[in-house]
């Protein structure tokens, strides 16, 4: 069980993301600096208790209209070997000391726990509370079992999101630019999907939105 520390971060998560988001091919903001607000998300527990796992939703007001981005992050107490390309930055945590922050799509611990969530073997946790399930996170799975440990860091970004190929021929597709479902309608995966995760966040006007965060499918562009 991850313990949430309410302490100082230097730089803050939003300060790190302000520099990092415009480098992503799926970023849709304007020419200026992002204007970010933390809008929602959830956490997963690392069974080993070493890696922090957070699926953060941030809204950006720098473009023609507000955009919502899904940013899966991992927090580590030491660098992750072979993942220099996925480093978002480093921060000083008021309790835990220096932390290395990674784009979690390239971190095998996050991918393994996301697969476990899709299968229903673990439960999503509230973003800012210890030992509190997040009841707004939905998931489904119709397959026969997913790979657990075997994972190669080959996640790729494109203009639509991030794809993580898996050893069994399936692929995780993370929707980095979130497209809200219609009001009062559930956030459902596309036809043919094997599994999915959906979540919610707060809009700038105070309403709640929900969308599919990740889809598990066969082959490319699940």
Summarize pLDDT for 126-172 with one digit per residue, the tens. 988 878 999 999 999 998 877 655 555 589 999 989 999 988 888 99
Segment 58-94, tens digit of pLDDT:
999 998 888 999 999 999 999 999 999 999 999 987 6
Give the integer Cα–Cα distance in Å for 43 and 29: 26
What would the mean pLDDT of 25-53 be, rounded to a whole number?
93
Percent of the chain exceeding pLDDT 70 equals 89
Whether cis (ω within 30° of 0) applies to the bond prior to 11 is yes
Q: Return the structure tokens found at 135.
A: 């009841």
pTM of the model: 0.91
Element (H, E) at 93: strand 87-93
How many whole angstroms separate alpha carbon 146 and alpha carbon 125? 21
């Amino acid at each position: 069980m991850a313990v949430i520390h309410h302490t100082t971060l230097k730089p803050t998560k939003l300060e790190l993301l302000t520099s990092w988001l415009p480098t992503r091919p799926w970023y849709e903001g304007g020419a200026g600096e992002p204007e970010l607000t933390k809008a929602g998300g959830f956490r997963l527990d690392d069974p080993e208790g070493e890696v922090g796992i957070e699926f953060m939703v941030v809204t950006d007001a720098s473009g023609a209209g507000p955009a919502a981005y899904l940013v899966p992050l991992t927090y580590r107490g030491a660098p992750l070997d072979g993942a220099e390309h996925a480093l978002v930055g480093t921060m000083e945590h008021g309790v835990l000391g220096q932390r290395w922050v990674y784009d979690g799509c390239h971190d095998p611990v996050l991918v393994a726990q996301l697969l476990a969530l899709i299968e229903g073997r673990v439960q999503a946790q509230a973003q800012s509370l210890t030992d509190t399930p997040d009841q707004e996170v939905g998931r489904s799975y119709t397959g026969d079992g997913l790979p657990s440990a075997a994972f190669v860091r080959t996640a790729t970004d494109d203009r639509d999101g991030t794809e993580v190929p898996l050893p069994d021929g399936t692929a995780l597709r993370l929707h980095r630019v979130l497209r809200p479902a219609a009001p009062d309608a559930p956030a459902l995966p596309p036809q043919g999907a094997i599994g999915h995760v959906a979540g919610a966040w707060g809009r700038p006007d105070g309403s709640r939105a929900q969308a599919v965060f990740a889809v598990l499918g066969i082959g490319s562009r699940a």
